[in-house]
């Protein structure tokens, strides 16, 4: 027997309030097996419209393939005052640039990221791994077999994206990245627009079978789960291949 509409809506609101991550229709269908996906989606849409019309302090949004309650951006200043330590978790510009390169060019190796930014990014990538914004995604079948990196579900949640396809076009993002970095990304992509290759809402498809790529298997991830253990080795290999006669001096970003 289907749940009463008002009771179902109230129950959904309660679940959304206490859920620590976006709630999917499939997970809700397990809680309300007699109501069906269409009825659940309809009630969620009613909740979204109701919150939007009420213009309160929070709203319902779709992110990472599910639904979640979020505070409205116009109240950010009050939240920052309330949470005195809000600024401690903010990403630096170096981290944002590195994360942007990985997001738009994934899967990508640390030396490739460093080449695009023009500085050694090992420390920044280590920080992004620690924050679970990027993860290991196998190895590239080139000399040294460097690790490949791609974004995670936490990345989507952090930036309020439903999938990696929701990233703005690089031309629109140039003000944040800087014209030179955006041009470098566009130029290195070999096309006028960078469209990350993804599979699923997380935007982190396995790379098995791709040309020149070896997927992360039990041996890779088990030895270094979500860690930056291989970052320094990749950087050392990249440095060893530099031409000694090069007059380009590459700096290094401080560890975040």
Neighbours of 132 (CB within 10 A): 14
pTM for the whole thing?
Answer: 0.49
pLDDT at 59 over 70: yes
Please say if the pLDDT value at position 151 is more than 80: yes
- For domain 5-78, give the fold: Arc Repressor Mutant, subunit A (1.10.10)
Start-end ranges of CATH 1.10.10.10 in the chain? 5-78, 91-240
Enter the DSSP assignment of 208. Answer: T
The angle at the Cα of 68, spanning 65 to 69, to the nearest 5 degrees, equals: 160
46: which 2 tokens? 């009613």
Q: Give CA angle at 148 (205, 87), nearest 5°.
A: 90
Identify the residue with better confidence: 58 or 236.
58
Q: What's the pLDDT tens digit per position in 76-116? A: 888 877 766 655 567 888 898 899 999 999 999 999 999 98
pLDDT reported for residue 136: 94
Lowest mean pLDDT segment, chosen from 66-70, 91-95, 97-101, 130-134: 91-95
Q: Which fold has domain 91-240?
A: Arc Repressor Mutant, subunit A (1.10.10)
Mean pLDDT throughout 123-136?
A: 92
pLDDT of residue 78: 84
Taking the C-alpha atoms of residue 99 and residue 140, their distance in angstroms, rounded to an integer, is 19
Contact 117, 185 (CB under 8 A): no
Asked whether the beta carbons of 146 and 230 are under 8 A apart, the reply is: yes
Residue 3 has what pLDDT? 74
Q: What is the mean pLDDT of residues 164-193?
A: 62
């Amino acid at each position: 027997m289907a749940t009463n509409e008002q009771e179902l809506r109230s129950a959904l609101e309660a679940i959304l309030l206490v859920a620590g991550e976006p709630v999917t229709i499939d997970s809700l269908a397990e809680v309300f097996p007699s109501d069906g996906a269409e009825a659940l989606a309809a009630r969620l849409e009613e909740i979204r419209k109701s919150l939007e019309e009420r213009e309160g302090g929070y709203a319902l949004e779709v992110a990472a393939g599910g639904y979640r309650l979020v505070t409205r951006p116009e109240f950010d200043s009050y939240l920052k005052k309330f949470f005195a330590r809000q600024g401690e978790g903010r990403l630096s510009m170096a981290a944002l640039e590195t994360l942007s390169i990985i997001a738009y060019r994934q899967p990508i190796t640390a030396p490739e990221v460093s080449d695009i930014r023009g500085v050694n990014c090992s420390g920044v990538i280590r920080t992004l791994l620690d924050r679970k914004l990027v993860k290991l995604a196998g190895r590239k079948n080139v000399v040294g077999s460097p690790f490949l990196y791609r974004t995670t579900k936490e990345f989507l949640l952090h930036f309020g994206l439903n999938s990696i396809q929701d990233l703005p076009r690089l031309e629109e993002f140039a003000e944040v990245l800087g014209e030179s970095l955006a041009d470098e990304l566009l130029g290195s992509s070999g096309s006028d627009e960078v469209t990350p290759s993804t599979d699923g809402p997380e935007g982190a498809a396995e790379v098995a079978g791709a040309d020149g790529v070896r997927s992360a298997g039990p041996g890779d991830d088990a030895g270094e789960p979500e860690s930056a253990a291989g970052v320094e080795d990749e950087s050392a290999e990249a440095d060893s291949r530099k031409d000694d006669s090069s007059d380009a001096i590459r700096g290094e970003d401080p560890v975040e």
